[in-house]
Structure 1
Amino acid sequence: MSTAGRVSVVVPTRDRPTLLRAALAALRAQHHPGGVEVLVVFDQSAPDAALAGGDDRYRVRVLGNDRTPGLAGARNTGILAATGDLVAFCDDDDVWLPGKLAAQTAALAADPGAELVCTGIRVRYADHTTDRTLADTRVPLAALLRDRLTTLHPSTFLFRRDALVDGIGLVDETIPGSYAEDYELLLRAARRTPVRNLPTPLVEVRWHAQSFFTARWRTISAALRWLLDRYPEFDSVPRGTARLRGQIAFAEAAAGNRRAALRWAARTVRAAAAEPRAYLALAVASGVVGPDRLLRLLHRRGRGI
């Protein structure tokens, strides 16, 4: 499939009109000879038809999520409506940096076997920015089982559309709360062929101060347990197993489920005694520090749990 044809960019959105317009302005500034089609998918909110329009070089289409409510269903609505040879993702609060699309299409053209190409990111949190890049230009499944590699952010994803729809498959809409749906999609893509990576920050990812409610932490725990059940490959990668178990322990601690947090922290240490998330979970479960404060400290350094 040609990399010079149209690129379709799927932008799920919900109640963030100002950030959305900034994201769209950055997409308009990209240059691609085949033209850019942007599919803005409104999830659980009324579509803004005023955003639609454009020309052969850059056109915006406005859709409502007609699948499962949530991020996964919104992404799939856009993927299935896309007319481009290539499909990209961009979250409504992120901004593509100049040259992003040109660099990725060139990478796909140079590597006909690649199905997905990602880039590094620039994390913005409050008034701090941190560049996060990965030196490896090809990322196999084993690397993604060991580490989430958050530099491979969904707003950097660019797929060959036929590989995504007919091979890798759509975003899984059964994941609780659509949490980590991007990571699961990466795992599926890497099962087929290594993910191509450009070690340059080409997307500004905006992290926001937020407080998760108990129900959200429970959803996160359920989604991570879903991942462990769905991917038996984790059983052979202690470091990856410990990472997910530690995240579950932290989520349970943040939700106030002290006994579950202690149980998952113990399971984490059994898999990898040096996994720091186990000890962060214990600190939260014991009341030494609150989960929101820990997240703020990590986010200022461009990192998360």
Structure 2
Amino acid sequence: MNPTKNSKRKTGRVFDPDATFLSNHPRLSIMILLFLYTVFLIVPSLLYTLFVTPIFYATHLYLLHIINFFSVAILWSIIVPLVLGLPNKREFIEYAKDIKIARIKPVLRSIGLGIITAFITLTCMLFANFLSSLLTGGQVQFVPQLLIHPGTTNIYTSLLLGIWEEVAFRGVMLVLILKIRSKRFSIISNGLLFGAFHSVNILSGFLGAILFGVEYNREHFIPVLFQIVYTAMLGTFLAYMFVKTKMLLPCIIAHYLIDALNTLVILNTEQLNWAYFCFMTFVGIGFLPMIINIPLVRSFSFWFPEPDDEIIPFFDTFLVRKQRLKQYKSDIRSA
């Protein structure tokens, strides 16, 4: 038996006397975070829908997107770090460092990696659309106006997904899982968790059907099931990139671009297209880009320096000032 190897194995438990209660209980923390995220996504939309007229709702969808963005921003930038003290302590600067959003150097390489992996995924999605059209007779259409259409996932609604989903799942939840599990287990479980969370779209569909009197049938349910599968694969790749680069920025860029630009090309068909969903799952946004992007990130990992103290100058300056102030107060007490 190799004692050195066994000593590195994580037992599934963690205790840090300086951390918060929830930080020392990652499983409980993740369940609470998933519940809060669901509430902060659905409740503001529900309240907005109840208090405005259908005509106002249809003509002012951008207001709903703004409300959703800032409600989720409050959760992940204020409540999670300062109230819940996750993933470690109740300090915003420490929070920014823990979730690796404060670390951006090397900047151009980080941005480049996010763009390249997004480009590969979008190319695979385009290929999946063309394969689907060959089998089903549907027509592939280039629709740039959907990039700003308020009723679709567009370039500004994708900000919520690209930023806050990455902060939530990679920045906070993955960091919590890494406390008690190995990197491999954490990456896979984070991907599965990310995919499973998209089942909330089923609940959103039911609520929308109730509020607007629309029938909710299998044509709404089945796409979500496929979405759960391919987003699990996407989440696995993004988790791998986060762990390998120790940075959140490439994940945010890749996630944002994939969500913002995927509506550029659509498959126009009049009926539920099983071929499209299968191709999108295994060729488009799911399996194929995952097995291409993971080796790519691994091969380019030498781009990223190992030290974790390369952070945004603002945070660096703030931390220095904070340390000096703490030392100054300590000197006064001891004098």
| TM-score, with length taken from structure 2 | 0.24
Task: Compare the two structures and name the one with the higher helix fraction.
Answer: 2
Q: Which has the higher contact order (CA 8 A, sep 6+)?
A: 2
| TM-score, with length taken from structure 1 | 0.25
Task: Compare the two structures and name the one with the higher strand fraction.
Answer: 1
Between structure 1 and structure 2, the one with the greater Rg is 2
